[in-house]
Every structure is written in C-alpha cells, then in structure tokens.
Chain A
Amino acid sequence: MTILIRGASLLGASAADILIDDGVIREVGAVKAKADRVIDGAGLIALPGLVDLHTHLREPGGESSETILSGSRAAAAGGFTAVHAMANTSPVADTAQRVEMVAELGRRAGFVEVRPVGAVTHNLDGMQLADIGGMARSKATVTVFSDDGRCVGDALLMRRALEYVSTFGGVIAQHAQDPRLAIDGVMHEGAISSELGLRGWPSVAEESIIARDVLLAEYVGARLHVCHVSTAGSVDVIRWAKRRGIAVTAEVTPHHLLLTDDAARSYNTVFKVNPPLRTQTDVDELRRGVADGTIDIIATDHAPHSLASKDATWQDAPFGMVGLESALSVVQATLVDTGAISWDDVARILSVTPASIGRVSGYAAPLAVGSPANITLVDAAHRENWTVERLRGRSVNTPFIGVPTVGRVMATIFRGKATVVDGHVVEDEEMRTP
C-alpha cells in the first residue's frame, strides 16, 4: 500500500509531497511516482504523528468509560500515533503480565502504538516497589513508571524508585501532589475556593514535591519526569533545576494552558481535574514555560469518566476530562495562534520529545525520508463550534462541546496506514490486526 500526500506544508513551512510505502516515508519533495491512495494536502500542515505521554485508557476495570480500543480511536482522531497508557487501572498495571496484556490489546486495536506505563509501587500503595524490572524486560518493554493519580509521597521510597528505575534506563513520571498538604482538596486554593467553600489544593503541595524530587534526582543521578505541571511556582522550580543540570523533564496539559479556577464558579463538574485548574497568572507562566523550553512537552491526561459519575456534587465527582481529541486545537489556540511557538515547536513538544522521554522509536527525525510513516495533517484554518461528534472515545466529559475551536486533524497516518481520512476515523475492520 502506497500513500501520496500532495502539497502539504511541512511543519508549517514550505509545501512538499510525501510518498509513503510499506510503512516508511520514501520520498519528500516533488514526487512523480503514483500511489494507491492520494491525499490532497493543499492548505494542510504536515506534522509527525503525535505522541501522548499521559493517557488513561481505563482498561482493565473501567471499560464503562473507556477501553483500549475506544481510547485508541480517540487518539487517532486527535492526530496521535502513540499513547502511554497510565497504570492506574483495576487491577493496576504492576506486573509484566498485565503490561503485556495492555500492549497486546493496543496492538489488536491497531489505531496507535499503545505503550503501557508501569506502576512504581505495588497496587499504587506507595509502600513497596512494583515489579519494575519484570515490566521493563517484558515484551511491553516498559520505560515509563508512574503511580499517576497518586503521588509517591514518601521521600525515601521515591529515592529508591528513582535509583531502581534508572537501573533499567527508565524514568519515573511523578504526580506531584503532597498528600498531606493537598488532603481532601478539590480545587485550586485561592480566592475562588474561599468563596465557593470548596476545600483547597494549594500550589505549594505541587511545588514542594517537585523541589524535593529534582534534588533527589540530582543526588542519585536519575531521570525524573514531572506530570501535569500546573503552577507558576513549579515552572520556576523546574527552570532552576534545568539550569543546575538536573535531568528533569516536564509536561503540561492543554487544559492547564487554557482554563482557570474561575470555571469552578458554576460547580460544573466537567471542570474538576487533578491537579486543579489554577489562576491566570499560572496559565500565563505555563505558556511562557513551554515557549522557553522549561516545560518539554504537552500531555493530555485524557481521563474519561461516565456521565453518571460526573452527574454529582463537585465533591463527589471524579477528577478528569478527556483530552485526546481536543489537544492539538487547544495547543494551536493557546500557543501557536498567540505567537508563542511555531509549528516546528509543536512537532517537538507533541511528538519528538515525548517519544524521546518514553523511548518510543521512530520519532527522532520527523517527516524525514526513511522514518516510519507516522504523520498528522492539520487544517489550521478550520473553525467550528465543537460538537459531541468530534469525540471518538467512550466518554464525553469535556468542556469544549459547543465552544468555538480552531484547527482540525484531517488525516492521521500510523505506520503507513491511514487511521483518519477527511477528518473522520477510518472504521476499517482490517485496521485491527488479528
């Protein structure tokens, strides 16, 4: 199967044709050869396939809100070709057998590469290390370990985890939330939580853990990745750590680049996320952090929840919103269209660097001849009021329905196969490798 993309703008720069054959990019430039399928790329921007380092696919245990298949489809719709499936499933992904099952179900779904994340501690209990070596050396070759949803709060255990994971060349992705400082917190602590009478989750509960962890990473000589950075102070701490030469990387979610704690005034539970939406000052500093490279990547923290579970009081509702389908639009609106970064940077923060942190192969040289054909075509000029039809996963807990959005993923190509064409997910049975 050959695919020819005609006249797409490479990373937002000059237009060229891209010829794909046998899952690999064969030619880039003015291509004369014919192909089985031709995609008109005029007016579209060609990006490398997007890589998400932080996705909740919910399977096993949470199939009512998402499955590996439905989440993979949502990922493809959002322009992703690889996702990292977080470990906080039920049962927890803390053994070789369980991560291999996740990887295998991902392979069968066939929309994206599903890279399992392994738990740091057994059953996320924060007490005893999970089977880290077993997961690293399994067929799933786990490289990212995280207790996401929970913080590895014990400093001694965190030190050991950093050391142990580094034995296998992996990285700890820390959910930075001091469990005591943020106890029972359900929104950002500040003027609005005071007014709404909701228990606060203070910025310092994130910042103090990041400060501790970068020092630990420096001390033991390990890599550290910080999940969903949400405060201006955290950006400062990470900037300081990087200047010091500490091997730390950090992610921010699209929603933390756009929304503030003001949204909680409605008590609309779709805005309840963890870490919580913070203030405009934080949003501005997070954007600056992405622009100056302090924050390395965008990660969705795609967190599907059923309508029934979100149909509750703010205190009872679970944390999280889905993000795979909307991520690129939010990044375009908050960072590209504002002039903070270029499309070239988008390729870096949504593909090259997340792949590098997760040790996903094939993403080092985006859109280069010889690279695996993982490509996303974006219509950046597209404008629409989002509808629920844009969501291709099983859950619809997003605040963007009915909201004006910019940009649209028109095509996604995963290892030479089109998973999205003309803006629609290809629902081909052949997609699913038996």
Chain B
Amino acid sequence: MKHLLSSAQLSRDEAVGILDTTLDMAEVRTRAIKKLPTLRGKTVANVFFEDSTRTRLSFEAAAMALGADVTTFTAQGSSVSKGESLKDTLQTLEAMGAEFIVLRHAHSGVCETVVNSGWVDAHVINAGDGTHEHPTQALLDAFTMRTRLFGDTSRGRDLTDLAVVIVGDILHSRVARSNIWLLRTLGASVTVAAPQTLVPREIESWGVTVVSTLDEALESQPHVVMTLRVQKERMSSGYFPSESEFSELWGMTSARLRRLGENAIVMHPGPMNRGLEIAGAVADSPQSTVTDQVANGVATRMAVLYTVMGGSR
C-alpha cells in the first residue's frame, strides 16, 4: 500500500492488519523508550491547508515516534488553496526531501488529485479532505471500538456482529463517511440517525440503515453510539431550525445514555460542542471514549506510516 487515500480503498485484511500493527505501536508507547528507528533519516511533511491542531499534533507525534524528521506546513484561506499553489507547495516540499506527505485540505478528493496527476512521487496520507474522507480517524475509531469491546482478545479480529449508530450531520462529515465504509468492510452493522436534510442522497447503497431520530436508533441496543460535531452555521443554511431541537432529537443526553447497556460506548471525534450533539456529563462518563480516541490516534498514525512505507507484520 503506497498511499492511504481513503478507508474505502481498504480490504478487510488490510484494515485488520493496520489495527494489529496499531496494537504493536501502542505497546511501544508503553515502553521506557517510546521510539522506533523505522523512519530514521526520512522526512514526513505535514501539509495542513485547513486548521486542525489535534490531527496535526497527532501525526507529528506519530512521525517522531518512528524516528522521522518532521516538516510542518500550515496555511489557511483561499489565497493558498488554489490548485497551482497546492501543486507548487507539494513539489517544493518533495524537493526538500519529503518522502511522506500527510495532507489535510478543505476540498474533497484532493489526495486523489495529487496522486493521479503525478505531481509528486511521495507517499500520500489523507488527513482529511473536505467532506469526503478521514481514513486515519476511522482506523483509530475502529481500533478504539475493538479494544474496548474485545480487550485482550482483539488481535486478528474484525468487527463482525458489532452494531454501531452514527448520529448527526452525516452529509457534511468525512468522519462519518470513512467510518461507515470501514465499519462495513470490517463486518459491523451501521445505523444512521439524522434529519433528512443531513443524510446524503442514496445513502442506502452504502449498506446502512437510516432512521429518523436517535431514540429510534437506540431501541436496538447498539454497542456503539458515534456522535459527530455539528457546525452551527448549518442552522442558518436551513438544515435544522435550532440547537435545542437538534439536541432534543439527535443529541446524546444523559437520559439516552442510561437507556444504553453498561458496556456500550459513546464516541466523538472532537472537538465537541458540549450540550449540543453530546451532553457534558456523557462526554465525561466512563462510557465515553473521547480521550481514548485521542490517545489511540498516535499509535494508529504510526501504524499507517509504517504500512505505507511497505512494512508488514
């Protein structure tokens, strides 16, 4: 695997392989010396055309834990988001020795464009492109689910028989897309709960069940409820009328948490709007995996860098 452009590209075995490598990387991070020399002498360029401090820091930590040199490029605003400048930026970074490009951009498909157009020869890792994909987030989420639910018997397993509910703004969410496709590949069943305005057209072809409200989705006692960040500007665009109505119908409240089984978990990719899509008390409860997700992010990104480099277990 030369690049990680999408979670849709991953086969079941490739995905399980990355999850198992993540286990190994997580183990490295418990040692006294938390580093491997795998990428020593290599340069990883983190190219963030869209701000995301946590994802950028996570990739930096992962690259450094593998011994790589890290170059970080951040830019915001439309003046640098044009294609010509994108092409020039990537070619400049490659000319300076970057063999890995971790790319975050507000435009969907940017990683495919970079790879297909032959602008650069480096390994490309998608760190979130527009409303398309965020594959490392989906991998760290799958790893978090697998670890929480199967513990020490995780290795080698996929997520067959796991029931996952994804609630909220599916339409604009790259996290939702990447999770849905990866979860389906790993054998989980996925139910989506959202107002029709925030459900992508023809989503049924993704092999998911669509229900109207979160309460309806919780009736089947899912193992996982994944909440998504809601952009408040969606209200002014007519996707939903008010925060209170959204929270009432699709918010993960304490009352709803009580209806879930004790072993069920609640996830959020962050950053959270406490009180909107997730209640503060739910986010801080033992059933919340929010901090696990952040911690697992570094090991997952180490595993991804290792995998695209050509490493196998």
Which residues of A come within 8 Å of B, CB atoms? 189-191, 193-200, 266-269, 308, 311-317
Q: Is the CB of B116 within 8 A of A316?
A: no
Nearest-neighbour CB distance to chain A for B233, whole angstroms, equals 13
Q: Is the CB of A311 within 8 A of B109?
A: no
A314–B131 Cα gap in the complex (Å)? 13
A311–B90 Cα gap in the complex (Å)? 13
Closest residue of A by beta carbon distance from B201:
A194
Q: Is the CB of A315 within 8 A of B84?
A: no
A303–B86 Cα gap in the complex (Å)? 24
Q: Is the CB of B205 within 8 A of A191?
A: yes
A189–B199 Cα gap in the complex (Å)? 13
Q: Is the CB of A313 within 8 A of B201?
A: no
**B155 is an interface residue with CB less than 8 A from chain A:** no
Nearest-neighbour CB distance to chain A for B41, whole angstroms, equals 32
Nearest-neighbour CB distance to chain A for B108, whole angstroms, equals 4
Q: Is the CB of B113 within 8 A of A314?
A: yes
- A197: chain B residues within 8 A (beta carbon): 108-109, 129-133, 174, 177
- B108: chain A residues within 8 A (beta carbon): 196-198, 267, 314-315
Please count the residue pairs between chain A and chain B whose beta carbons lie under 8 angstroms apart in the complex. Answer: 73
A-B contact pairs, 13 of them (CB 8 A): A190-B201, A191-B201, A197-B174, A198-B108, A198-B130, A198-B132, A199-B131, A266-B116, A312-B86, A313-B109, A313-B110, A315-B130, A316-B81
**B262 is an interface residue with CB less than 8 A from chain A:** no
Q: Is the CB of B201 within 8 A of A189?
A: yes
**B261 is an interface residue with CB less than 8 A from chain A:** no
**B202 is an interface residue with CB less than 8 A from chain A:** yes
**B271 is an interface residue with CB less than 8 A from chain A:** no
Chain A proximity mask over B1-17: 1 for CB below 8 Å, otherwise 0: 00000001000000000
**B148 is an interface residue with CB less than 8 A from chain A:** no
**B30 is an interface residue with CB less than 8 A from chain A:** no
Q: Which of B8, B109, B174 contacts A267 (CB 8 A)?
A: B109
Nearest-neighbour CB distance to chain A for B8, whole angstroms, equals 8
**B82 is an interface residue with CB less than 8 A from chain A:** yes
Q: Which of B138-176 contact A (CB under 8 A)?
A: 174
Nearest-neighbour CB distance to chain A for B162, whole angstroms, equals 23
A197-B129, A197-B132, A197-B133 given as contacts; is B86 within 8 A of A313 (CB)? yes
Nearest-neighbour CB distance to chain B for A227, whole angstroms, equals 25
Q: Is the CB of B132 within 8 A of A194?
A: no
Instruction: Sort A-B residue pairs by CB-CB distance and give the 6 closest, nearest first.
Output: A312-B83, A197-B132, A194-B200, A267-B109, A191-B202, A197-B131
A197-B109, A197-B132, A197-B174 given as contacts; is B81 within 8 A of A190 (CB)? no
A396–B108 Cα gap in the complex (Å)? 25
- B201: chain A residues within 8 A (beta carbon): 189-191, 193-194, 200
In this complex, which of B108, B177, B200, B205 has the most chain A Cβ atoms within 10 angstroms of its Cβ?
Answer: B108
Q: Which of B240-290 contact A (CB under 8 A)?
A: none
A189-B201, A191-B205 given as contacts; is B84 within 8 A of A312 (CB)? yes
Nearest-neighbour CB distance to chain A for B104, whole angstroms, equals 13
- A267: chain B residues within 8 A (beta carbon): 108-109, 112-113, 116
Nearest-neighbour CB distance to chain B for A15, whole angstroms, equals 48
A308–B88 Cα gap in the complex (Å)? 12
- B117: chain A residues within 8 A (beta carbon): 311
Q: Is the CB of B86 within 8 A of A198?
A: no
Q: Is the CB of A314 within 8 A of B109?
A: yes
Nearest-neighbour CB distance to chain A for B203, whole angstroms, equals 6
- A269: chain B residues within 8 A (beta carbon): 113
Nearest-neighbour CB distance to chain B for A434, whole angstroms, equals 39
- B107: chain A residues within 8 A (beta carbon): 313-316
A311–B84 Cα gap in the complex (Å)? 7
A197–B81 Cα gap in the complex (Å)? 18
A252–B83 Cα gap in the complex (Å)? 30
A294–B113 Cα gap in the complex (Å)? 38
Closest residue of A by beta carbon distance from B132:
A197
Closest residue of B by beta carbon distance from A267:
B109
A315–B86 Cα gap in the complex (Å)? 13
- A315: chain B residues within 8 A (beta carbon): 107-108, 130
Q: Which of B85-122 contact A (CB under 8 A)?
A: 86-87, 105, 107-110, 112-113, 116-117
A196-B109, A197-B132, A316-B107 given as contacts; is B116 within 8 A of A268 (CB)? yes
